[in-house]
Amino acid sequence: MSEALAHLALYGLGTMGSALALNILDNGFALHVANRTASVTEGFRSEAAASGLDGRLSVHGSLADLARDMPAPRAIILMVPAGDPVDAAIAELIPLLSPADAIIDAGNSDFHDTRRRTGTVEGAGLTYIGMGVSGGEDGARHGPSIMVGGTPAAYAGIRPMIETIAAKFEGAPCAAHLGPDGAGHFVKTVHNGIEYADMQLIAEIYGLFRYGAGKSPAEIGAIFAEWDKGALKSYLVEITSKVLTATDRETGKPAVDVILDRAGQKGTGRWTVIEALTMGQSASAIEAAVGARGWSAEKEARMAGEAILGGVRGPLALTHGDAEQALLAARIIAYAQGFRILAAASETYGWALDFARIAEIWRAGCIIRSALLDDISAAFRSDMPHGQLIFAPAFAKRLQATIPALRRVTAAAIAAGHPVPALSASLGFIDTMAQARGTTDLVQAQRDFFGRHGFERIGGAAGSHGPWWD
């Protein structure tokens, strides 16, 4: 894009697309829109009109009409489901656009796809931007956190608009250009991985109060509301307290009690784990959360399992203080693991990611916004031994103070038969990282024994072999 701000368009008026479109209009920008289904486009026109936001709105019958009829230079935001719909939209747009135009994918795309699409679109002489947008419907409407990948020049073209529509933390926009091509979508993917872990950790603590301490959802909601005033202050803790104190209109039961305990997943949590493993990392808390979603989907098997294996969840004496500290420790570990994946990707792809900046733009607008992120950004701007958040002085101190509670809660839960896969995975990570000598010497010996893989002798040569080969 050559001009400071191109004519804007948004294609895909689903929940997130229409909310983002209203946000753009509300902030004084003119916008062209279209959707695959005409009735949805008309619904959006009425919604915009009802809010007095249709003055700057131009509605088109199709993506092709939009591209043909709007003036150049064009910046077209795609808000369509990740995967084939993005490729289809790009294929339709390329022949209709001209060199000053940009395509912006604002969905939850796999960053590998974004890298490939950047090659295709820029090969056709156009600009491509992969943009992670977090904050759900409310965030999209009133200010999301925005993670941008693309060239600096491409970002310069959309920056005024992006910074205007983004969430603000103490007046500063929660939006940044993070690196080339797939960098924005990768950071959004890891954001979601942390989101999965935090949600699962909260759910495990809820389960301990509910099925171990015998508390009602409303009582647990009140505990979370209290925690939201302290170190755990965050969007996810806040909405958890609201969810747990809500009542189902139809039955008068706690709302959470009429919901089937089976969750799906669209991919970002799983991709976080896949990418981590591919780069030789292991984000155990995120893995556990993704795995727990998979197990949740096996509802029928779990129902049979309760009968066959005699699922017993014994009573638990759980203090509020211990539960709070345990959740805080595990949350720190989940963030730390997320940032380790970002560091690995930054190195692998040569992105030079600014971790402090990423923490800063997650402080408002996004789903994982929490009081901790302010401290995380400060930690990345100061002393960070071995690039590990868990070793940054402020966090090491917090972990030393909270890990005993995580250990007590996890041990008690396990002893009483409560599933705590993410809490225990978090503890397993920290206990591993807190030991200078682990047990992989034996794994190395086994590998050498059965496959002559060799090992590094302490103070000696790599490629050494054990006496079993003498």
DSSP code for 362:
T
Q: Secondary structure of the chain: what % helix, strand, coil (to 5)?
A: 60, 10, 30
Does residue 370 touch ligand 6PG according to CB under 6 A? no
Question: In this structure, are residues 271 and 237 in contact, taking their beta carbons and an 8 Å threshold?
Answer: no
Question: In this structure, are residues 117 and 170 in contact, taking their beta carbons and an 8 Å threshold?
Answer: no
What minimum distance in Å lies between the beta carbon of 82 and ligand 6PG? 9
Question: In this structure, are residues 89 and 97 in contact, taking their beta carbons and an 8 Å threshold?
Answer: no
Catalytic residue among 92, 195, 229, 456: 195
What minimum distance in Å lies between the beta carbon of 264 and ligand 6PG? 6
Nearer to ligand 6PG, 268 or 377 (CB): 268
Helix (H, G, I), strand (E, B) or coil at 350: coil
Question: In this structure, are residues 140 and 14 in contact, taking their beta carbons and an 8 Å threshold?
Answer: no
Helix (H, G, I), strand (E, B) or coil at 166: coil
How far is Cα 63 from Cα 116, in angstroms, rounded to an integer? 22
Q: Which of 195, 198, 287, 354 binds ligand 6PG (CB under 6 A)?
A: 195
Nearer to ligand 6PG, 67 or 162 (CB): 162
Catalytic residue among 3, 188, 360, 397: 188
Mask: binding to ligand 6PG, 322-361, rule CB under 6 A, as x and -? ----------------------------------------
Q: Which residue is nearest to ligand 6PG (CB)?
A: 134
Q: Which of 18, 108, 282, 284 binds ligand 6PG (CB under 6 A)?
A: 108
CA angle 139, 82, 16 (to 5 degrees): 25
Task: State yes or no: is 266 an active-site residue.
Answer: no
Task: Return the number of other C-beta atoms located less than 10 Å from residue 466's C-beta.
Answer: 15
Task: Return the number of other C-beta atoms located less than 10 Å from residue 37's C-beta.
Answer: 10
Question: Considering only CA atoms, which of 233, 223, 15 is closest in space to residue 136?
Answer: 15
Task: State yes or no: is 188 an active-site residue.
Answer: yes
Nearer to ligand 6PG, 367 or 390 (CB): 367
What minimum distance in Å lies between the beta carbon of 271 and ligand 6PG? 10
Q: Which of 48, 283, 367, 412 binds ligand 6PG (CB under 6 A)?
A: 367
Nearer to ligand 6PG, 268 or 284 (CB): 268
CA 222, 223, 227, 229 dihedral sign is positive
Residue count, binding to ligand 6PG (CB under 6 A): 13
What is the footprint of ligand 6PG within residues 234-273 (CB under 6 A)?
264-266, 268-269
**How many alpha carbons lie under 13 Å from residue 71 in its C-beta half-sphere?**
6
Question: In this structure, are residues 140 and 19 in contact, taking their beta carbons and an 8 Å threshold?
Answer: yes
Q: Which amino acid is at 222?
A: A
What minimum distance in Å lies between the beta carbon of 291 and ligand 6PG? 14
Nearer to ligand 6PG, 24 or 412 (CB): 24
Nearer to ligand 6PG, 272 or 325 (CB): 272
Q: Which of 12, 17, 130, 135 binds ligand 6PG (CB under 6 A)?
A: 135
Nearer to ligand 6PG, 113 or 448 (CB): 113
How far is Cα 57 from Cα 49, in angstroms, rounded to an integer? 9
Stretch that binds ligand 6PG, among 115-123, 132-140, 389-397, 462-470 (CB under 6 A): 132-140
Q: Which of 197, 237, 327, 366 binds ligand 6PG (CB under 6 A)?
A: 366
Question: Phi and psi for 369 in degrees, rounded to 5?
Answer: -60, 135
Tokens for 47? Answer: 């919604």
- Interface residues with ligand 6PG (CB under 6 A) are 108, 134-136, 192, 195, 264-266, 268-269, 366-367
Instruction: Give catalytic residue positions.
Output: 188, 195
